[in-house]
Amino acid sequence: MPQREAKFSVGAPPDEVWTFIRDFQSLCTCVPGVERIRLLDDRTAELTVKEKIGVVPLILTLTAQIDAEEPPRRLHATARAEHLTMEIDVTLQETDSGTEMLSLFKVKGEGQLKPVVDSLFEKRASERTAQFADCLKKRFGGVSPTNA
């Protein structure tokens, strides 16, 4: 199962960062490829995500759900689509300058699209992490990503 771990130093206190990551609407403004968000309840959202494979768009409808949380420290979520399961773990730790955010994404392609999903994740993970970090920087200032 392909996975990617990233660490960000965010210039905001953990409570503020927690409020951001816990709000699907706010968080998804920083997730590259998300085109539509529909809240189902306070723990579940339906997302339409678009990625290009060459010139062909791959459009997925994901159901994202928060499975467990320990505010304002830890969150575990899953996102599922027809040929994809993604697990997301986020840990926040207070630092002298704000918050350290550690994220771990595990992606599992399934069925006939498994090779496509796995390959796409491996090719785009670093680029998408940098885009997410840039969005965090615009929102909070003082963000510095480092690969964990």
pLDDT of residue 54: 78
Cis bond upstream, residue 71 (ω within 30) = no
pLDDT of residue 112: 85
- Structure tokens given for 56: 């062909």
Residues 6+ apart with CB under 8 A from 9: 95, 97, 98, 99, 100, 101, 142, 143, 144, 146
| pLDDT tens track, the chain, 148 positions | 789 999 989 999 999 999 999 999 999 999 999 999 999 999 999 999 998 877 888 898 999 999 999 999 999 999 999 889 999 999 999 999 899 999 999 999 888 878 888 888 888 888 888 899 889 888 987 666 655 5
